[in-house]
Each structure stands twice: as structure tokens, then as C-alpha cells.
């Protein structure tokens, strides 16, 4: 893609993903226009202070708006070539307590994005999803599963030669808003860290890795795929040791809607998934899908399940310490330097 000719819009662009996306795309891709679409005017003001004074002739445009508002999306999508849909209500407890609001933003908002993109002639749309959409046990995961299904089937609504839709699905983002890392860092000041269950495992990805994965999928997408990166797992007790060594651990039990382990590809999905090296591509089971698409990939073995507890790639304590140090959450203790890094 010739980025200098493209107009790009990001929904939820003042969130963790959006801010990192803007940083990388402005520095390395230099699109003709980059539209920040979000409902938080304070964060947009803060973003202006970072970029508008430092980038001569900045391509950034700021739209106050909510994905619940279809008319505002229609206005914002005028002349847009690429849409990254990152806006969502993401906190599991908040979605459990406010289910109607979660549905309005994560499901109906997704429908609004799809319809506006098709009607405005957007070329490519990628939705950002989560491991919680696989076999969901909480409302947040259920709404993201609905959104995934809608974005994949949107290719049929767009018709041949119309807007192409795909999904990027990955795990927990290191040190993002709502991450357990800042919580552990605060708790270590009191010497007591709360853990739901010592057996818990999670997939981990950095913000920069997530953004670069999405950018690569934009180049590769043919319309209809769910892209899943190969990323490492970590055990919650290793994370505690990395962030708050020596602290007493208090076990508080799994919260409503929480899993012991997360899954990025279920056994049922694995039957129509291919391995393409550093990622998996889940192909849709719809009549409009071209069966030759991703024929270069390797089919997965029977019974394959990509879950955080069965992963072959793990981050251990020393690697986690190196990782969290880059985000300013490392404990003030002496430790042996370790060469292991999250690549």
C-alpha cells in the first residue's frame, strides 16, 4: 500500500492502541491524513499538544464522536481509505455491571462502523478483538464475539469489489489501561499483592507488537480472515515475582467472568485455520469465501487448541522483569541481568 496517498481513521484513537498506532504511523508510514475519532475531548487535547506542535503540516484531524452515533461516523468516514476499529468498552467488571452499555458500544457500534464503511466506500477495515471472544464466559467476550462475526460477514454485505473487512485477535497488552502490572506495582508499596488464582496463565503482547501486527495484517488481508499472532504466555505467579518480589501474596479467588486460562484459537476454529509462520489465519466458513485464499498456509493438526496454558512459548521471571522495566514498573531491587527479551 502507498501510505502517503491514504486517508486513515482510527476509532477509539485516544486509547492505548490508538496512541501507539498514531505514534508509529506518523513516524514511519506518513499517511496523507490520519483521523482521530474518539469521544474524549481531553485526551484529544493532550494528543494535540504532543503532535501538532512537533509535526510540521501535521496530517492529523480530530473528530469528537461515538461509534454509537451512526450519523457522526458517516460524516467522519468521508474520503477515508482505511479504518482501524479499536473503540470498545473493555473492562470485564464494568461490562458485567452495565450490560446494555456494553452491547450499545461493542455490538451496535460495530454495526454502525460496518454500515458507514460500506456506504462511504472505505477500502479496508480491521477490527481489534481479544482472546476473550473465544468461548466467552463474560459479557465483554460475548460482545467481542458478536463483533467478530459481524465484521467477517460484512464482506458479504459489501459484495464483490466492495469494502473488505478482517479481524485481528490477540491477548492481554502489557501495561495497558486495566493491566494487572500497574496494580501489582501499586500494591508492592504495602508489601501485599492480591492474586485471584496461582494457576492462572495469560497471553501477552506489547502495544508496539500489537500495532505492528495490525499494520502487517492490513497489507496481507484479503477480506474475511481472523488473524492471530504467535505470542508468549506467562504464569501469574511469575509476574508477581517480576513486579513485586518478596511481597506477601493474598489469594482472593477468581472474579465473575474470569477464566483460569485464555484461548486464542478453539478446537472448532482450528479445523479451518492455517499456520503461516509467525501467525495463524482463521478462514471463514461462508459461501463467498474463495477456497484458494491462504492455500500457502499449513493446516493445523486435529485437536489443535491455542491456549495460554498449552503454549510452547513462555515468558519467565527474568524476561518479564526485562519487559516491565521498559514501562517503568520494575521493582527497585538488584537482579542478575538476563538476555531474554520479548521479540
Domain contains 302: yes
Domain contains 338: no
Place of cell 480530530: 62
Domain contains 117: yes
Give Cβ neighbours of residue 53 (< 8 Å, ≥ 6 apart). none
Query: What value does the mean pLDDT of the chain take?
Result: 92
What pLDDT, on a 0 to 100 scale, did the predictor assign at position 1? 80
pLDDT above 70: percentage of residues in the chain: 94
Mean pLDDT across the stretch 282-295? 87
Domain contains 111: yes
Domain contains 293: yes
Domain contains 214: yes
How far apart (Å, rounded) are the C-alpha atoms in residues 272 and 284? 7
Residue 59's CATH number: 3.40.50.720
Domain contains 275: yes
Place of cell 496461582: 198
At 190-213, the pLDDT tens digits run 999 999 999 999 999 999 999 999
What pLDDT, on a 0 to 100 scale, did the predictor assign at position 187? 93
Is 90 part of the annotated catalytic residue set? no
86 closest CA partner among 188, 222, 158, 177: 177
pLDDT class for 22, splitting at 50, 70, 90?
Answer: very high
What pLDDT, on a 0 to 100 scale, did the predictor assign at position 303? 94
Residue 149 has pLDDT above 70, yes or no: yes
What pLDDT, on a 0 to 100 scale, did the predictor assign at position 161? 83
What pLDDT, on a 0 to 100 scale, did the predictor assign at position 294? 92
| Domain range for 302 | 3-171+205-230+263-307
What pLDDT, on a 0 to 100 scale, did the predictor assign at position 55? 64
Residue 343 has pLDDT above 50, yes or no: no
Domain contains 120: yes
What pLDDT, on a 0 to 100 scale, did the predictor assign at position 232? 96
Q: Which pTM value belongs to this model?
A: 0.92
Active-site option among 20, 90, 124, 132 = 132
Residue 334 has pLDDT above 50, yes or no: no
pLDDT class for 154, splitting at 50, 70, 90?
Answer: very high
Structural domains of the chain, count: 1
Amino acid at each position: 500500500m502507498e501510505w502517503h496517498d491514504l486517508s486513515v481513521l482510527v476509532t477509539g484513537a485516544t486509547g492505548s492502541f490508538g496512541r501507539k498506532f498514531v505514534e508509529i504511523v506518523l513516524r514511519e508510514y506518513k499517511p496523507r491524513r490520519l483521523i482521530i475519532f474518539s469521544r474524549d475531548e481531553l485526551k484529544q487535547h493532550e494528543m494535540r499538544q504532543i503532535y501538532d506542535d512537533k509535526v510540521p503540516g501535521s496530517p492529523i484531524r480530530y473528530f469528537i464522536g461515538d461509534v454509537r452515533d451512526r450519523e457522526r461516523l458517516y460524516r467522519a468516514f468521508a474520503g477515508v481509505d482505511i479504518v482501524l476499529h479499536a473503540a470498545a468498552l473493555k473492562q470485564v467488571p464494568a461490562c458485567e455491571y452495565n450490560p446494555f452499555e456494553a452491547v450499545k458500544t461493542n455490538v451496535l457500534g460495530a454495526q454502525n462502523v460496518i454500515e458507514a464503511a460500506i456506504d462511504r466506500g472505505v477500502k479496508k477495515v480491521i477490527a481489534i478483538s481479544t482472546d476473550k471472544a473465544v468461548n466467552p464466559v463474560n459479557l465483554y467476550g460475548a460482545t467481542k464475539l458478536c463483533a467478530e462475526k459481524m465484521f467477517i460477514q460484512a464482506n458479504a454485505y459489501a459484495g464483490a469489489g466492495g469494502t473488505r473487512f478482517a479481524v485481528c485477535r490477540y491477548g492481554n497488552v502489557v501495561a495497558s489501561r486495566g493491566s494487572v502490572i500497574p496494580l501489582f506495582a501499586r500494591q508492592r508499596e504495602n508489601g501485599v499483592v492480591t492474586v485471584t488464582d496461582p494457576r492462572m496463565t495469560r497471553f501477552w503482547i506489547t502495544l508496539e507488537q500489537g500495532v505492528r501486527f495490525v499494520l502487517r495484517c492490513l497489507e496481507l488481508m484479503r477480506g474475511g480472515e481472523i488473524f492471530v499472532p504467535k505470542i508468549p504466555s506467562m504464569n501469574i505467579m511469575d509476574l508477581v515475582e517480576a513486579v513485586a518480589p518478596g511481597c506477601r501474596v493474598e489469594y482472593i479467588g477468581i472474579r465473575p467472568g474470569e477464566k483460569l486460562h485464555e484461548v486464542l484459537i478453539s478446537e472448532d476454529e482450528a479445523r479451518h485455520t492455517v499456520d503461516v509462520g509467525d501467525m495463524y489465519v482463521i478462514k471463514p466458513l461462508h459461501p463467498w469465501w474463495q477456497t484458494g485464499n491462504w492455500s500457502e498456509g499449513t493446516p493445523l493438526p486435529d485437536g489443535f487448541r491455542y491456549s495460554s496454558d498449552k503454549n510452547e512459548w513462555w515468558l519467565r521471571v527474568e524476561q518479564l522483569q526485562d519487559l516491565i522495566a521498559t514501562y517503568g514498573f520494575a521493582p527497585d531491587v538488584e537482579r542478575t541481568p538476563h538476555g531474554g527479551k520479548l521479540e
